[in-house]
């Protein structure tokens, strides 16, 4: 299936671009069966091959096959978002290094500040929400989305958005396609790095909601350009990181 | 044509030196026909080959050939600067990561602070200007220089200078040759990185206008040395980034 | 012996992951003889081979063999910790770059802030202790743990913990296995990088003691996943760093 | 001559370790004729071969050979330091990126903060001095050490020290051997990076003068270990940077 090959590429690109390391995962809704999604078994993203991709059920987050290999501990991130958001066709969960500070520092806001990152915008000009797992799991949890209830709480926090930060954990990004989800995951990191460097210089000028929406539409029409470049780099890198 | 080969090298060097990623572009004025310039079709800079370089008209920013392939959305950055500035022979547009914070934080000034970067200086000691697209396109634009009017506004902001920052977007650098434009683009980034680290340490001592001009002349006479090194590194890197 | 091979891999992984450079060392308690430990002779970690691994005595930190080659100057870091802590099976000593600022700035605390780094937590919510060698060696020492007395002082500072910072020097990490010690050394650095970037953004939300313990248990059960990836990367890197 | 081979290695190591880029240079006093020193012709350090190394006179900084190729513009950095300091056997001049902020921000002090960098210390606990070229060349110079007078002024600023910062320019490091000069150049950069990250965390605890001297002696006795590693990495890197 072409989608499996696309998903393997997404895993390798996200690893090569340093969005995921030994941890993190990317999934795609099944192109023919909307009640299923494709996700690797429990393996580091940079090592995923087509044989590792398993069909999972949106309903309960479990693998379709009987007696599956070890699965990702947090597969309910994916299943509950697909359930709540019929428009979402791909999900990336990562701990990318520049985004995490915004998920750790109270009140930090990951506002879109450059034209490649308009997708971080929203109508009210706030940045992506932050999911606080303590509100659901209490203050002694392992922070993992390890069941349906927690996945559903995360999906509620994401709401109709494209990106949700997860306190002390990382972020989850959604999109209408695998390529767009990868683009957004990479550029969420780019915007975060930029903000980390701009904030000490003075008052940061975020994109207006109108600019965010206009730039989002303009840049996302170019998504194949970075995808093709990243794929070529990941292929050439032979498993290393950029 | 030798200039095409030079321009392909410039694309590959700018990519290898991490000034451009999947986006950004570099052009050269046509060496025989001053009313034309050479610019790649819409492709990532690190993947540009001689076959991708197309002649464009300074007059309207369009390709000379009939029925051209997809062109860069922002080719008017180049055409309008060549129109306004007969002295300019090469233009680099990028979103390089250390420069962007200076195009995002209000009032931040990219002053020249080391002898390799005197070209950032000006007679009045201010750093490069920042182009605010809202003054021309309003506050809900996609920030792209997507027509002649916006290109002309950017060229006015650049004025007689060598570098112009673009709010929420990146920067554009001009020079009398392709090699010098590449040099300036790389060292604009070097100076920005340096400033980002020096500003928290105390009062930054910028070059005086006299020092900026004297260092500019001294270092730019050495431009072949970094060009040759960067070309060798890009050739050896086989498409990867440094 | 399998443990020697594991230790060689640990050296190469720590080098490839930039936890050690020309300096730093990792040891393992002897799997059959608890009164001995395995540690390389005085050689850069990235160059360690099986032939370099020597048995040392816990009792006095010296090599078991007669007339040994030059040994590490600081082997008492290892011997005294093995003596004080029968539960410890592996020790990593490094000067990793993001951890060092926390060992240099007075009062800086390396609190666990993300779920991969719960092992940095403690019951009272403080971060790892910092060993001040001046209290034992006076204020004109060379900061090295160059005898048993200093090793014992360091071991007392570590106490029942997993990580101890060393003022002006680096850190030492312990664990129940070589793989876990490597994991903790790498993720101590990850947490430090994260904190360095989060602190300027606002009030940092550390893990609660309960979260730290729960995440530690959850993530450390996954330790083979990063180990296998890091080993593959170090093998492919052929002696270079990531 | 073995010293030529050592100097070629030094050039390649400094490039691979990112202490020099297309600019910067390293020299050695002639092992038999103290009134001469060895320095490459005007070429990027990473591209230096044995054939590029020329004998220069300490007396006037010029090449010994008649009709030499183009020489480094700043060779008087080397000649005047060798003249003023008979103990100095090697000199490294660079613009390494973390050191430059300390040469740009007024009052910033590059104090030794870790045991690998004790050589930055001094009896009075101040860090390395900063050379202000304006005091000799006025406020419109090109900042380059382009004649004997400026070289002599720089040598006076260095005094009996090991490192001198140069405002708006970079730094110069001296030592009793090529290997030690390379070690000090690399670890000056390491200490600078560390300070840049530690300063925002709280009061930085510098080494005492006694600690600085004791650590200097202890670590510099180990200089072959990093040299051998760096040489291996530079050889394997085949011209690229780490």
The pLDDT tens digits of the residues spanning A164-212 come to: 999 999 999 999 999 999 999 999 999 999 999 999 999 999 999 999 9
Interface of B with A in 88-107 (CB under 8 A): 95, 97-98, 100-102, 104-107
- pLDDT of A23 > 70? The answer is yes
List the single residue in A with minimal CA-CA distance to C234.
Answer: A240
A73 interfaces chain C, CB cutoff of 8 Å = yes
Interface of C with D in 104-143 (CB under 8 A): 104-108, 139-143
Q: Are strands C36-40 and B163-166 parallel, antiparallel or unpaired?
A: unpaired
Give the Cα separation of D200 and A184 in Å (integer): 31
> Please, which pLDDT band fits residue B239 given cuts at 50, 70 and 90?
low
Long-range contacts at B51-58 (CB < 8 A, ≥ 24 apart): B53/B4, B53/B7, B53/B8, B55/B30, B56/B27, B58/B29, B58/B34, B58/B82, B58/B83
Give the Cα separation of C35 and C92 in Å (integer): 18
Where does residue B225 fall: left (phi above 0), alpha (psi -120 to 50 degrees), or beta otherwise?
alpha
Q: Which positions in chain C touch A142 (Cβ < 8 Å)?
A: 115, 118, 211, 214-215, 217-219
Exposure of D200 in the CB half-sphere (CA atoms within 13 A): 16
Model ipTM value = 0.95
CA distance B222 to chain A (A): 30
Chains in contact with D via at least 3 Cβ–Cβ pairs below 8 Å: B, C
Give me the pLDDT at residue C1, please: 73
- Which among C170, C133, C171, C168 has a CA at the least distance from the CA of C152? C133
For residues C10-44, b (16+ Cβ closer than 10 Å) or e, as one string?
bbbbbbbbbbbbbbbbbbbbbeeeeebbbbbebbb
Give the Cα separation of D182 and C7 in Å (integer): 30
Give the Cα separation of B12 and B26 in Å (integer): 10
State the count of interchain CB pairs (< 8 A) between B and D.
Answer: 116
Give me the pLDDT at residue B1, please: 73
List the single residue in C with minimal CA-CA distance to D237.
Answer: C240
List, in order, residues 6 or more apart from C29 with CB less than 8 Å away: C36, C37, C38, C58, C82, C88, C89, C90
D113/C104 touch (CB, cutoff 8 Å), yes or no: yes
Chains in contact with A via at least 3 Cβ–Cβ pairs below 8 Å: B, C
CA distance C204 to chain A (A): 4
D114/C100 touch (CB, cutoff 8 Å), yes or no: yes
A142/C211 touch (CB, cutoff 8 Å), yes or no: yes
- pLDDT of D186 > 70? The answer is yes
D208 interfaces chain C, CB cutoff of 8 Å = yes
Give the Cα separation of D148 and D63 in Å (integer): 14
- The DSSP call for residue A47 is G
Give the Cα separation of A236 and A234 in Å (integer): 5
CA distance B34 to chain A (A): 31
Chains in contact with C via at least 3 Cβ–Cβ pairs below 8 Å: A, D
Give the Cα separation of C193 and C180 in Å (integer): 20
Q: Are strands D163-166 and D130-131 parallel, antiparallel or unpaired?
A: parallel
For the annotated catalytic residues of A, the residue numbers are: 74
When scoring D205, D209, D237 by the number of chain C Cβ atoms within 10 A, the one with the most, hence best to mutate, is D205
Helix axes C178-198, C2-16, angle to 10 degrees: 20
- pLDDT of D145 > 90? The answer is yes
> Please, which pLDDT band fits residue D166 given cuts at 50, 70 and 90?
very high
Give the Cα separation of D184 and D166 in Å (integer): 16
List, in order, residues 6 or more apart from C39 with CB less than 8 Å away: C25, C26, C27, C53, C54, C56, C72, C75, C78
- pLDDT of D206 > 90? The answer is yes
pLDDT in tens, B10-62: 999 999 999 999 999 999 999 999 999 999 999 999 999 999 999 999 999 99
C44/D208 touch (CB, cutoff 8 Å), yes or no: no
pLDDT in tens, C147-171: 999 999 999 999 999 999 999 999 9
- pLDDT of D238 > 60? The answer is no
- pLDDT of A241 > 90? The answer is no
Average pLDDT of chain B, as a whole number:
96
Per-residue CA distances from A195 to D42, D100, D189, D242 (Å): 40, 23, 26, 27
When scoring D142, D165, D171 by the number of chain B Cβ atoms within 10 A, the one with the most, hence best to mutate, is D142
List the single residue in D with minimal CA-CA distance to B226.
Answer: D22
pLDDT in tens, A98-128: 999 999 999 999 999 999 999 999 989 899 9
Give me the pLDDT at residue A239, please: 62
- pLDDT of D239 > 70? The answer is no
State the count of interchain CB pairs (< 8 A) between A and C.
Answer: 116
Ranges in chain C, pLDDT < 50: none
> Please, which pLDDT band fits residue A217 given cuts at 50, 70 and 90?
very high
Residue with tokens 């050269």: B28
> How large a percentage of chain A has pLDDT more than 90?
95
A237 interfaces chain B, CB cutoff of 8 Å = yes
Mean pLDDT of B189-202: 97
D242 interfaces chain B, CB cutoff of 8 Å = no
A100/C114 touch (CB, cutoff 8 Å), yes or no: yes
C207/A240 touch (CB, cutoff 8 Å), yes or no: no
Q: Which positions in chain A touch C208 (Cβ < 8 Å)?
A: 139-140
D100/B205 touch (CB, cutoff 8 Å), yes or no: no
Mean pLDDT of D197-209: 96
D74 in active site: yes
> Dihedral (C-alpha) D80, D86, D87, D93: value to the nearest 10 degrees?
10
Residue D126: strand pairing partners: none
Interface of B with A in 19-48 (CB under 8 A): 21-23, 42-44, 46-47
Give the Cα separation of D202 and A210 in Å (integer): 41
B204/D98 touch (CB, cutoff 8 Å), yes or no: no
C168/D116 touch (CB, cutoff 8 Å), yes or no: no
Average pLDDT of chain A, as a whole number:
96
Q: What is the CA radius of gyration of chain A?
A: 17
C239 interfaces chain D, CB cutoff of 8 Å = yes
CA distance B53 to chain A (A): 17
Give the Cα separation of B117 and D114 in Å (integer): 32
Give the Cα separation of C166 and C131 in Å (integer): 5
Q: Which positions in chain A touch C115 (Cβ < 8 Å)?
A: 142-144, 168-169
Angle, CA of D104, D201 and C128, to the nearest 5°: 145
For residue C151 the two structure tokens come to 């090793």
Angle, CA of B147, B148 and B150, to the nearest 5°: 70
Write out the H or E segment, with its range, that includes residue B56.
strand B53-57
């Amino acid at each position: 299936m072409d989608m499996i090959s696309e998903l393997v590429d997404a895993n390798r690109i996200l690893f090569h671009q340093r969005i995921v390391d030994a941890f993190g995962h990317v999934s795609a809704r099944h192109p023919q069966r909307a009640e299923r999604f494709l996700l690797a078994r429990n393996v580091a993203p940079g090592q995923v091959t087509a044989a590792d991709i398993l069909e999972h059920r949106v309903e309960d987050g479990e693998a379709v096959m009987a007696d599956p290999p070890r699965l990702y501990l947090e597969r309910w991130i994916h299943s509950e978002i697909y359930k709540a958001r019929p428009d979402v066709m791909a999900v990336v969960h990562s701990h990318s290094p520049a985004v995490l500070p915004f998920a750790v520092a109270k009140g930090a806001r990951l506002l879109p500040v450059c034209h490649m990152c308009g997708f971080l915008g929203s109508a009210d000009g706030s940045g992506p929400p932050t999911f606080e797992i303590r509100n659901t799991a209490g203050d002694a949890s392992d922070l993992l989305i390890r069941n349906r209830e927690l996945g559903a709480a995360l999906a509620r926090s994401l709401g109709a958005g494209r990106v949700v930060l997860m306190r002390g954990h990382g972020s989850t990004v959604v999109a209408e396609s695998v390529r767009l989800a990868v683009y957004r995951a990479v550029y969420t990191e780019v915007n975060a790095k930029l903000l980390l460097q701009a904030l000490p210089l003075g008052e940061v000028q975020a994109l207006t909601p109108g600019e965010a929406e206009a730039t989002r539409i303009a840049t996302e029409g170019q998504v194949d350009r970075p995808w093709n470049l990243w794929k070529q780099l990941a292929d050439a890198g032979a498993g290393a990181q950029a």
